[in-house]
Each structure stands twice: as structure tokens, then as C-alpha cells.
Amino acid sequence: MNHFDVIILGGGAAGLLCAITAGNRGRRVLVLEGSNKIGKKILMSGGGRCNYTNINTEPSRFISANPNFCISALSRYTPSDFIAMVEEHDIAYHEKTLGQLFCNTSSKQILQMLLTECEKASVRIQTHCETESVSCKDRYELVCNKGTFSSDSLVIATGGLSIPKMGASDFGYRLARQFGLNVLETRAGLVPFTFTGEMHEMLQRLSGVSARASVAAGSVSFTEDLLFTHRGLSGPAILQVSSYWNPGESIAINLLPDSDAEALLMQAKTVQGKSLLRTLLSESLPRALVLELQALLWPEHAEIPLQEIADIKLRELASILQNWTLKPAATEGYRTAEVTLGGVNTDEISSKTMECIRQPGLYCIGEVVDVTGHLGGYNFQWAWASGYAAGQVV
């Protein structure tokens, strides 16, 4: 039997950072990855350029049943800490909107950086490794298709259910339950919405069109681009709000987030009275969208100049333009979701070490834990921070 100080299940962002941190402390570390290569999500992220962190990281950008849980780890491994590693490896990067950091060239650079650091820390990595059973008496024992391994500490870094084609599975949750941990209900997060009926047909006609908008679910709203797709709605604003949406609820879309729509229409009625409403709105919104809205909201006024439309009608339209209420049928689910909401209950885990309170030597890090970041590099930062926290003590 091969014995290690630490076995980490999962060769993703959290698992690799944990392995590096533990290996640098002189621990003998084994990373077991079920798929054919490590870091698949790292490679695909950010359109292949890896949005590896966000300089605006703070606890409010994360969703959890215990919103305070992430504070400790995030404060001890910050975006600056990861950026220092990136710069040490001479990886050129740039900041996009809202504090998002991307590689200039390729996400392969981030993965290679982590592999290089693993090698320096004498971390052993085994891919194509399917874990058949895990048990614990005096130590943890794992029976795999590649052999039997044992360790004093075991880290669950297996990720969530999002993007199953990348090898995602519920293994981490099943393992947590095996050791008596409470796992909160999971669902897809940062995911597009789908629609049915006439609204689906309308959105399908607009497929490929995008617009800046504020999108709200309940009391939470995000102002970014939304994208019309052949299935429904996507884009950053939609993905963000999807993590706060519950099935059966409606969302509210403000198509003119930077304007007072009522003031805009009333002033145009006075100043541009001979113009058509679609002409005015096409100055702020894609024309294809305006034409669909016209057919939906003011078909009887389509050819009537603004000066001839009653004030009450213009006010009604202004209200809809800034509070267009739609009810999604569903989301696209885990197939396209960027993250998994829910997971191992943080009440089971030490926020300082990521060790399970009732199961000594067992640690949970990354997406498998009930901590989910907003879009834009926050989930990677949680992976780095939680991996570092566990790596310091395993």
C-alpha cells in the first residue's frame, strides 16, 4: 500500500493550490484525478484565457447559507497572493471590466504554472484514477483502479455538478454523506434561462442580439449585458441573477438602466414629436429588439408619431421598459452552468482550516462546499483561498 501524508481527491483549482501549499510544507502529497487530465475547468474558463481572480473580491460577492463562512479563508489568501505567483511565472495578464483578471495569451499558462509549482513541491499526481471505496479506521484508505492508497489527511476537492461533460459528478457529495456530513440541496448557478411558448419564439428570433440591462430576481439585481439566445436569455447579467432565482419566480429587466424612461419619452414627445417610438428607442436599444417590443407592446401605435400618443400610454410603456417582467420556464441546468450552488454545509467545517468538525483529518474545499461566487473570477479565488487554508494544516 502507498502511504502519503495527504491525499487530495480532485485535480482542479482548489485541489492543486492545496497540494502546492501542503507540499511546500514538506508534506507527502498525492492528487487523485478521475478524468484524463487535471485542470479542465481552468483550461476552458474565460474563453480559454482563464479569468483566474477578481481584484474586487469580498465576502458580499459569495452566496452561502452562512455568508460569514468565507471571510476567514478569503482574508488569508487574497487576489494579490495569487497575482504574485502569476507574476513570478512571467505570465502577462490584463484587467477586464469589474476587476476581472485574464491571461493575455492562454489559460494553459495558469495550469502549467500550477503543475510547475506542484513539481517543485514534490506533489505526485495520478490521472484516470477512479476511486472505488474510501474508509477510515486509524487512517484513510482508498481503493482505486490504480491501486490502494492511504493517508493521514484526506481532502475532498472534487468540485460540483456543473458541466458534466468535463467529468463533473456527485462523488464528493456522496463521500461527504458517507462520513456523516450534511449536504445542502444543490442546483445549477451562473446559468442561462429557458422559456416556453410565445416568449420562447420571440427570444429565439432575437438570438445573438445583446443589450446592456439591469436584471433583478427579488431584491438582487445586476447591471451588465444580457444576451438573447435560441433557448432564452444568457449573458453576464442573466448568469449573475440566476444564482438568486428560484423556479416559478419572475425576473424583472430594466432595458434602459442608465435613463429615466418616462422623462425620455415625455421629452421626446415635445422635442421630437414627429418621430416614431421605435426610431427613438433604436437610439438606445438594438433595432431588432425594438421591433419585437413594438409588436408585443405597442402594435396599434407602431406608425403613430410620438406627439399623437397619449401621455398615459407613454408612461405605461416607460414603466414596462424599465420593469419588463418575464417568467423563465427553467434554467439550462448543470449542462451549461458555471457553478453548483449548495453543497457541504459550512456548519460541518472549520472556516479556518476547512477540516470537518466531526471527522478529524477530512477536509472539504472549493466548489463542493456551500460557497458560490458571483461571475467574474470569484469562484477561482474561493478555490485558491480554501485550498490554501487546508494546505496550511493538512
Q: What is the pLDDT of residues 196-244, one digit of tens each?
A: 999 999 999 999 999 999 999 999 999 999 999 999 999 999 999 999 9
The per-residue pLDDT for 368 is 98
pTM of the full structure: 0.95
Low-confidence stretches of the chain (pLDDT < 70) are 1
- Average confidence score pLDDT of the chain: 97
The per-residue pLDDT for 12 is 97
The CATH H-level (homologous superfamily) assignment of domain 2-188+339-391 is: FAD/NAD(P)-binding domain (3.50.50.60)
Q: Length of the chain in residues, anyone? A: 394
And the C-alpha cell for 10?
A: 480532485
The per-residue pLDDT for 276 is 97
Under 8 Å between Cβ of 288 and 313: no
Under 8 Å between Cβ of 381 and 82: yes
The per-residue pLDDT for 219 is 95
Pairwise CA distance, residues 211 & 213, whole Å:
6
CA 324 to each of CA 190, 251, 254: distance values in angstroms, whole numbers, following the listed order: 21, 8, 6
The per-residue pLDDT for 191 is 98
The per-residue pLDDT for 165 is 85
CA 191 to each of CA 132, 204, 217, 220, 280: distance values in angstroms, whole numbers, following the listed order: 31, 17, 14, 16, 33
The per-residue pLDDT for 1 is 61
Phi-psi region of 194 (alpha: psi -120 to 50; beta: other; left: phi over 0): beta
Pairwise CA distance, residues 242 & 234, whole Å:
9
Under 8 Å between Cβ of 190 and 215: no
* Fold adopted by 192-331: Elongation Factor Tu (Ef-tu); domain 3 (2.40.30)
Pairwise CA distance, residues 98 & 223, whole Å:
11
The per-residue pLDDT for 49 is 96
Beta bridge partners of 233: 193, 228
First to last CA, the chain: 20
Residues of the chain with CATH 3.50.50.60: 2-188+339-391
Per-residue pLDDT tens for 40-63? 999 999 999 999 999 999 999 999
Under 8 Å between Cβ of 11 and 159: no
Taking residue 293's Cβ as centre, other Cβ atoms within 10 Å add up to: 20
Pairwise CA distance, residues 366 & 372, whole Å:
9
Residues of the chain with CATH 2.40.30.10: 192-331
**CB burial of residue 1 (10 Å; 0-12, 13-18, 19+):** exposed
